């Protein structure tokens, strides 16, 4: 065996521990620099204010800087984020032109005292920043072209939720009522596939072509979907106005939660595609007469063996309000398992799709395909959960939790513009 030795190479080691730079620190520096250049941090410092007894020497931007870093880092908890950031705290705050990192307890108190007015100011800045900077230099957004060559701007509105576990506590006459830390931000509700006893639901708005978030509006339990939808419509109208687009060219996709006549009335002036849940529509004479005629078409998808038979009803009143819209009825034979959607009558499953789209521009198959393509929105929510998980708990106060989720969406929108990804 031959060996090669070089006496000029000297290796020295030390037992002293030298912390390594967090893997996400470079991305933080990149995105924060972009925010500084766009004047976002200065705008937050000037316009997001609220009164608080013990603010110390910190400003609002100090605490929001922590939330920006936390959202970019992808750390699972604030505790892990602070532990990893510890040796680099001064350098981290210098990126924001600040000096001292707030402690975890100070951040907790700050979020608990955050006010709804401050949340709205932050939300306004978030939307202004989104509208001021197009995704590409050419200002391209991506649009849907119908059969008459008319362009449509598509928006997805849906709800997502965060669940929280709670210990079982004894309940006896000699014990006071249980006090839960999440009582203000959570309530009993539908948990879906998430484990927990209480939930918080938020309505999110997305531009379907660019995957940019336009807003997030949350409430305890199952939320207040009509009020949250009203906030979402305000945001969408502002987006359309900023880009010089008429409301008549906006197309909203909503799930079955919104499929009632009352919601259709709320969407006045906007086109939509949604799954209907008011199955009394099937008993309307016009619908019954149409079901006894030959179908308009059959619809299937490559990944499924299910074939739907489609019946197009152009003008049908929906709900007690009598809001008239186009109804597409999709039917298929009942399978061995109970259908997760629709209503079953005499061995046939009926599904309803409500829309205001014109028949010459969108066939019945186009309407159903457009709605079912909402499945592309689910991976966006899944990616957001995996990369940032904005539904994790940062605060036991509603306003504090809302502020965290706005910052999280801000980081999501910012990453493509800087060429980075979490």
Interacting residues of 159 by C-beta distance below 8 A, sequence separation 6+: 201, 202, 203, 204, 223, 225, 228, 255, 257
| pLDDT exceeds cutoff 90 at 197 | no
- pLDDT tens-place string over residues 359-402: 999 999 999 999 987 666 777 777 787 788 888 888 999 999 99
* C-alpha 174 chain-centroid distance: 44
- The domain made up of 255-378 has a fold known as Transposase Inhibitor Protein From Tn5; Chain A, domain 1 (3.90.350)
Task: Give the mean model confidence (pLDDT) for residues 71-93.
Answer: 92
Specify whether the CB–CB gap between 272 and 260 falls below 8 A. Answer: no
The string over 79-98, giving b where at least 16 C-beta atoms fall within 10 Å of a residue's C-beta and e elsewhere, is eebbebbeebeeebbebbeb
CA angle 63-421-236, nearest 5°?
A: 75
- pLDDT tens-place string over residues 200-246: 999 999 998 888 899 999 999 988 999 999 999 999 999 999 988 89
Task: Give the mean model confidence (pLDDT) for residues 26-51.
Answer: 90
In eight-state DSSP terms, residue 21 is P
Under the banding of pLDDT at 50, 70 and 90, the label for residue 137 is: low
Specify whether the CB–CB gap between 354 and 318 falls below 8 A. Answer: yes
pLDDT at 25: 93
- pLDDT tens-place string over residues 268-285: 889 999 999 999 999 999
Say how many C-beta atoms besides its own lie within 10 A of residue 298's C-beta.
Answer: 13
Cite the DSSP H helix spans in 74-173. 78-85, 89-95, 104-113, 116-132
If one compares 16 and 160, the residue with the highest pLDDT of the two is 160
| pLDDT exceeds cutoff 80 at 135 | no
Q: Is 418 exposed, middle or buried (0-12, 13-18, 19+ CB in 10 A)?
A: middle
Specify whether the CB–CB gap between 153 and 251 falls below 8 A. Answer: yes
- pLDDT tens-place string over residues 304-322: 888 999 999 999 999 888 8
pLDDT at 89: 92
Under the banding of pLDDT at 50, 70 and 90, the label for residue 138 is: low
pLDDT at 136: 58
**How far is the C-alpha of 402 from the C-alpha of 390, rounded, in Å?**
10
Query: Closest Cα to residue 126, out of 347, 360, 405?
Result: 405
Query: Closest Cα to residue 106, out of 44, 65, 52, 63?
Result: 63
Q: Which residue ranges make up each domain of the chain?
A: 25-134+397-418, 152-165+185-251, 255-378
Answer whether 0.75 is exceeded by the pTM. Answer: yes
């Amino acid at each position: 065996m031959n060996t090669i030795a070089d006496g000029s190479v000297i290796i020295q080691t030390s037992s002293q521990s030298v912390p390594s730079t967090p893997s996400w620190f470079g991305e933080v520096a990149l995105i924060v620099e972009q925010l500084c250049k766009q004047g976002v941090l200065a705008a937050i410092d000037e316009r997001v204010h609220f009164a608080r007894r013990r603010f110390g020497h910190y400003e609002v931007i100090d605490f929001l800087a922590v939330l920006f870093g936390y959202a970019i880092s992808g750390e699972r908890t604030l505790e892990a984020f602070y532990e990893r950031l510890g040796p680099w705290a001064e350098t981290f705050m210098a990126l924001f032109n600040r000096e001292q990192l707030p402690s975890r307890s100070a951040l907790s108190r700050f979020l608990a005292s955050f006010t709804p007015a401050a949340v709205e100011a932050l939300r306004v800045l978030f939307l202004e920043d989104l509208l001021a900077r197009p995704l590409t230099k050419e200002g391209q957004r991506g649009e849907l072209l119908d059969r008459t060559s008319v362009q449509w701007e598509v928006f997805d509105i849906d709800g997502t939720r965060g669940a929280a576990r709670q210990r079982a506590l004894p309940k006896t006459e000699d014990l006071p009522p249980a006090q839960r830390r999440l009582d203000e931000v959570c309530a009993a509700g539908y948990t879906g596939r998430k484990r927990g006893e209480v939930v918080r639901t938020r309505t999110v708005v997305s531009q379907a072509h660019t995957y940019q978030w336009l807003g997030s509006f949350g409430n305890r339990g199952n939320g207040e979907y009509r009020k949250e939808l009203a906030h979402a419509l305000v945001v969408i109208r502002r987006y359309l106005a900023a880009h010089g687009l008429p409301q008549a060219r906006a197309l909203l996709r909503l799930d079955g939660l919104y499929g009632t006549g009352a919601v259709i009335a709320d969407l006045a002036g906007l086109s939509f595609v949604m799954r209907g849940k008011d199955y009394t529509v099937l008993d309307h004479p016009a619908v019954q007469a149409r079901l006894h005629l030959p179908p308009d078409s059959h619809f299937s998808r490559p990944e499924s063996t299910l074939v739907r038979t489609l019946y197009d009803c152009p003008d049908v009143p929906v709900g007690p309000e009598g809001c008239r819209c186009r109804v597409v009825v999709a039917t298929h034979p009942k399978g061995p398992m109970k259908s997760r959607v629709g209503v079953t009558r005499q061995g046939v499953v009926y599904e309803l799709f409500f829309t205001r789209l014109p028949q010459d521009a969108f066939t019945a198959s186009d309407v159903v395909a457009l709605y079912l393509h909402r499945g592309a929105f689910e991976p966006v929510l899944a990616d957001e959960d995996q990369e940032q998980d904005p539904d994790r708990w940062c605060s036991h106060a509603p306003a504090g939790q809302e502020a965290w989720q706005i910052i999280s969406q801000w980081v999501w929108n910012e990453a493509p513009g800087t060429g980075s990804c979490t």
